[in-house]
Amino acid sequence: MNDLTLQKARAYEAEHGAAITPAERPAYHMTPYVGWLNDPNGFSYYKGKYHQFYQYNPYDVRWAPMHWGHAVSSDLLHWEYLPCALAPDSPVDNGPGCFSGSATEMDDGRQLLMYTSVVAEKQPNGEMRDIQTQSIAIGDGLDYEKPACNPVLTQKDLPEGFSRFDFRDPKIWREADGTYSAVTVCLTEDGSGAAALFQSADGFDWHFVTVLERCNNQYGKMWECPDFFPLDGKQVLMLGPMEMLPKGEFHNGHNVIAFIGSYDKATHTFTKENVQLMDGGIDFYATQTTLAPDGRRIMTAWLQTWSDTEDKPQGCKWFGQTICPRELHIKDGRILQTPVRELDAVHGKRTFHENVTVQSETSLEGIKGRVADLTV
């Protein structure tokens, strides 16, 4: 491991991130400390705070070899930046870097990160291709070490015919018996995605269990950023299909969809009953959920998609942000989303107007400032 890569990133962000004033950032959307952000990673509650890692290039406002940025919050609204958590500094991730992943807590109190490690390899035909495997890192909420056993999952752990070029985005969680489970996405023989379940007794030694669901070229092509969790008596498999064609509520390009159904833990069988779009907007991707201490299922996402990442202000110091986190519930077979209730605590005085015709020059008494929560 080359610690210099991580130390270089930490030194750069400490200097340049600290120079960005709060007035240059949104008020309650989390942004990168400096540089580029895409997928939220490792969204978790650990040691009394919410931890939000993210795909990160501190050096520029465009995608480049991926690091993991890191921030913590007590209320999901105000974020404190911590030093860069992961850098592309080990033999299995020293090319394109440390791609998306997740986090959970171990029995000894340490935090376990699981992420996709990517390295470029020359193929028999001479072509360079990115090889995707799954790796882990273990730390105390500030500093993380990558063990020598990495990668912990490779193409050898997948069913025959699955691709080693598209095998990524592990979402890890603890089972009731203390064992570890993770769902990843992978590309199958028919050229479309699948969600695969893996398990481990200790978080280090992993094995394939089953394919939870296949795309069968019905919902886009390759899938990304899976999540698998119980919600109000149902089981949800949430993921991001790429290359969707517009049909019904699904729009063109990158979507986030949720399969809602039931799950037999004894046989590891997921049975979908309904499918829905998670957000009608095009700037919404790479969702990840966590369980709050009070039992709420809370979701974050990247407030962007790949189709418009070149549309950025000239001279900007950061690019990319996450949504205001949302609480999830199921009603009448569909997932409902509401802004986290922590927003209620930051509301100011309520101002009410009625029977007003709003025109371009309209000024309403009591409504001013940088941030307003409007109900119209």
Q: What is the pLDDT of residues 67-122, one digit of tens each?
A: 999 999 999 999 999 999 999 999 999 989 999 999 999 999 999 999 999 999 88
Q: pLDDT per residue over 25-37, tens digit each?
A: 998 899 999 999 9
Q: With 90 as the cut, is the pLDDT of residue 256 above it?
A: yes
362 lies in some domain: no
Q: How many independent structural domains does the chain possess? A: 1
301 lies in some domain: yes
pLDDT band, very low/low/confident/very high, at 308 (cuts 50, 70, 90):
confident
Stretch 229-248: mean pLDDT, rounded?
Answer: 96
Stretch 251-279: mean pLDDT, rounded?
Answer: 96
Q: With 70 as the cut, is the pLDDT of residue 359 above it?
A: yes
The per-residue pLDDT of the chain, averaged, comes to 95
**Taking Cα atoms as reference points, which of 271, 284, 266, 262 lies closest to residue 330?**
262
Pairing of strands 35-46, 318-319: parallel
What amino acid occupies position 75?
A: D
Q: With 70 as the cut, is the pLDDT of residue 1 above it?
A: no
Stretch 292-318: mean pLDDT, rounded?
Answer: 94
The pLDDT value given to residue 375? 85
Is residue 39 part of the annotated active site? The answer reads: yes
The pLDDT value given to residue 223? 97
13 lies in some domain: yes
Q: With 70 as the cut, is the pLDDT of residue 251 above it?
A: yes
CATH code, 202: 2.115.10.20
Q: With 90 as the cut, is the pLDDT of residue 294 above it?
A: yes
174 lies in some domain: yes
The pLDDT value given to residue 142? 98
- Which of 39, 93, 169, 227 does the annotation list as catalytic? 39
Helices (H) and strands (E) in the chain, counts: 1, 21
Secondary structure letter of residue 221 according to DSSP: S
3-state class of 189 per DSSP? coil
Stretch 230-256: mean pLDDT, rounded?
Answer: 95
The pLDDT value given to residue 311? 87
The pLDDT value given to residue 361? 87
The pLDDT value given to residue 3? 84
* b/e per residue 270-305 (b: at least 16 CB within 10 A): beeeebbbbbeeeebbbbbbbebeeeebbbbbbbbb
Q: pLDDT per residue over 186-201, tens digit each?
A: 999 999 999 999 999 9
Q: pLDDT per residue over 117-169, tens digit each?
A: 999 988 899 899 999 999 999 999 999 999 999 999 999 999 999 999 999 99
The reply to whether the predicted model has a pTM over 0.75 is yes
What amino acid occupies position 57?
A: N
What amino acid occupies position 259?
A: F
214 lies in some domain: yes
The pLDDT value given to residue 200? 98
The pLDDT value given to residue 2? 66
Q: Which pairs from 238-244 meet CB under 8 Å and 24+ separation? A: 238/278, 238/287, 238/289, 239/185, 239/193, 239/195, 240/285, 240/286, 240/287, 241/193, 241/215, 242/193, 244/219, 244/220
Contact criterion met (CB below 8 Å) for 195 and 237: yes
Secondary structure letter of residue 250 according to DSSP: B
Beta bridge partners of 185: 168, 195
* Greater model confidence, 375 or 261: 261
What's the CA gap between 335 and 248, in Å, rounded? Answer: 17
**Taking Cα atoms as reference points, which of 276, 267, 197, 211 lies closest to residue 238?**
276
Q: Note down the domain range covering 214.
A: 3-346
366 lies in some domain: no
353 lies in some domain: no
Q: With 90 as the cut, is the pLDDT of residue 10 above it?
A: yes
274 lies in some domain: yes
